[in-house]
Chain A
Amino acid sequence: MSIITAHIRGQSFAFALISRRNRHRAGTRYFSRGIDKDGNVSNFVETEQLIVYDEHTAGGYQFMGQHQLSFVQTRGSIPIFWAQVINMRYTPRLWMDDGDNSVRLLYLDYHNSMQMTKFGIFSVNGNEVSF
């Protein structure tokens, strides 16, 4: 949570960053990974960028909210069943479930449609991982 007063070209506004952790499937990074049978993904966080400003900048630092803008980003573990078994190596051994792709697609679909319901239109950014 961070709330500051910022200025762009003389216009001041309140800028807030709020992160909300999902209580489902929490856990430290190496111990909780991937998706569960309810479609919840590990370490899921929603971060909101909030901007509030008024027409007239009469000074002072309370913005009453004539203009309110919000942008939400979410982040979670890749929605497949996987884990990394801790060992002493630099890169722990990767484990994935034995199921076939149709099951994986099913859970991926379920997770994605849950996201659509909760958040509306979204775009997905992926991270390249090489094994």
Chain B
Amino acid sequence: MIVITDREVVGNIKNAEVCRIKSVSIETITQQNMTRQQQKTEQLFLQRLKDHFESNNLYYSYDYDITQSLQRQINAPAAPRWKKVNFY
């Protein structure tokens, strides 16, 4: 599970805040009995994942769909939010 631990607000679109992710925390469910080598590789990958989230300017907004252009938002049929959002 990846949790956002710090963000900065970059602006408002139609009264909805848009935020940039500044730092995350990765909660892992690791298996028991990993060898030293496996633990090292696991840590390496986790750190890479963390660096990706923190240095690559990822944004989110609770109330405005930033993944769809306005044209598509207006033409989209009614659907629950998770269906309308576009992981482009």
| Further 16 A-B residue pairs, CB within 8 A, beyond A1-B59, A14-B12, A62-B15 | A3-B13, A4-B11, A14-B11, A14-B13, A18-B69, A20-B67, A20-B88, A48-B70, A52-B13, A61-B12, A63-B14, A64-B15, A65-B14, A65-B15, A69-B70, A70-B69
How many residues on the B side are at the interface (Cβ–Cβ under 8 A)? 17
CB pair B69–A16 under 8 Å, yes or no, is no
Encode contact with B along A70-109: 1 for CB under 8 Å, 0 otherwise.
1010000000000000000000000000000000000000
Q: Verify if A2 is at the interface (C-beta below 8 Å from B).
A: yes
Q: For the complex, is B5 an interface residue (Cβ under 8 Å from A)? A: no
**Chain B minimum-CB-distance residue to A24:** B88
Give 6 nearest A-B pairs by CB, closest first: A3-B11, A70-B70, A65-B14, A48-B69, A20-B88, A1-B59
A23 touches B66 (CB 8 A): no
Flag if B11 contacts A22 (CB, 8 Å).
Answer: no
Give A61 to B14 CA distance when docked, in angstroms: 10
B88 touches A3 (CB 8 A): no
Chain A contact-residue range equals: 20 to 34
Closest Cβ neighbor of A72 among chain B residues: B69
**Which residues of A109-123 have CB atoms within 8 Å of chain B's CB atoms?**
119-120
B88 in contact with A23 (CB, 8 Å): yes
Interface residues of A (CB under 8 A from B): 1-4, 14, 16, 18, 20-23, 46, 48, 50, 52, 61-65, 68-70, 72, 119-120
B57 CB-CB contact with A under 8 Å: yes
Complex Cα spacing A22 to B67, Å: 11
24 contacts between A and B (CB under 8 A): A1-B10, A1-B18, A1-B66, A3-B10, A3-B11, A3-B12, A4-B11, A16-B13, A18-B66, A22-B88, A23-B88, A46-B88, A50-B13, A50-B70, A52-B13, A61-B12, A62-B12, A63-B14, A65-B14, A65-B15, A70-B70, A70-B71, A119-B71, A120-B71
